[in-house]
Structure formats: structure tokens, C-alpha cells
Amino acid sequence: MKTRALGTTGAHVSIVGLGAGAIGDLSVSDDVIGAALDLGVTFFDTARSYGASEERLGRFLEGRDVMIATKGGYGVEGCADWSPDAIRLGIDAALARLRRERMDVFFFH
């Protein structure tokens, strides 16, 4: 799989990424993630609103050198959408679901 620089970040990612919306549906096989990894995919796009997607990616990608982009800023209980607390708590929750210590890319969605 070819890679390219991700903007000016210095990071290189596969030219093809996996949009993980479909794997939020538990009827979609885990084999999708494994096949993407086998093909050399190193960029994964998910969101809290994609059902179980973040949790599934977290299980499969834990400890792997890949880049994950997720989305948030909304839907945090007790916080107004797009507020600093919703953003901070949303990132913390995404990190836990993704089993990551840092967030590679976070989009306001």
C-alpha cells in the first residue's frame, strides 16, 4: 500500500483509509478490519455516532501504529453540544473507547 504525507504533520498514512461507519453495525464482520490491516491500511475514520465503531477499532487496533480520526463535540450527557466541556469529555470518552493515549485527529462533527 502506498503512503502519503498527511498535510504538513510529518505523518504518513496509507493512500486508502477505512471509513468505519459500517462496522458500527455489529452484523458487519470483524474481518473488515483485519482485511484492511492485511492490505496495509493505516488510516481509520470513525465517530461516536457510528454505533460500536470506536469500540471495535479500539479492540483491533490497540498497540498498532495506525492513525485514527474520530469526531465529536456533541451528545455528552450534562453538557451543551459544542461547549468546551462537551469537547473535552467527548475526547476523553473517545480515547477510552479507542484504547488510545492520544488522539490523532478529532473533527467537530
Q: What is the pLDDT of residue 72?
A: 93
**Total count of domains within the chain:** 1
Query: pLDDT under 50 in the chain at which residues?
Result: none
Phi and psi, residue 89, nearest 5°: -65, -35
pLDDT of residue 79: 95
Q: pLDDT per residue over 83-98, tens digit each?
A: 999 999 999 999 999 9
Domain extent, residue 93, equals 3-108
What pLDDT shows up at residue 105?
Answer: 94
CB 62 within 8 A of CB 99: yes
How much is the pLDDT for 109?
A: 79
CATH number for the domain harbouring residue 99: 3.20.20.100
